[in-house]
């Protein structure tokens, strides 16, 4: 699972030359991310497909699910 997450985040950013701008959670990096409703590192593999999306952020702003975190 760790390799898959790395490939879809850091690896994807690196493949398009944007590793200094996106692909990880760090100061100065674009906050485009999805917050999942379960820990995909601990749930059974089959459960990952039905893991709910708790929130989505684009450019550091919630575009979905802000109310789940006390915003909006």
Tell me the C-alpha distance between 14 and 35, whole Å. 22
> Is 42 in the same domain as 61?
yes
- Whether residue 66 is predicted with pLDDT greater than 90 in this model: the reply is no
pLDDT at residue 13 greater than cutoff 80:
yes
* Span 41-53, average pLDDT: 95
Question: What average pLDDT does this structure show over 47-51?
Answer: 95
Based on the fold, state whether residues 40 and 61 are members of the same structural domain: yes
Rounded to two decimals, the pTM is: 0.77
Residue 61: inside a domain, yes or no? yes
Report in angstroms the alpha-carbon separations of 28 from 15, 23, 31, 44, 58.
19, 11, 9, 34, 14
CB 10, CB 33: distance < 8 Å: no
pLDDT digits (tens, 9 = 90+) for 33-46: 999 999 999 999 99
Confidence of residue 72 (pLDDT cuts 50, 70, 90): low
17 and 41 part of one domain: no
Whether residue 40 is found in the same domain as residue 59: yes
Number of domains in the chain: 2
């Amino acid at each position: 699972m760790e390799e898959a997450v790395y490939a879809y985040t850091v690896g994807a950013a690196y493949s398009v030359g944007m590793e200094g701008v996106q692909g990880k959670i760090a100061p100065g990096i674009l906050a485009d991310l999805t917050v999942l409703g379960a820990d995909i590192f601990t749930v059974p593999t089959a459960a990952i497909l039905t893991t709910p999306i708790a929130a989505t952020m684009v450019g550091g702003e919630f575009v979905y699910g802000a109310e789940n975190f006390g915003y909006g």
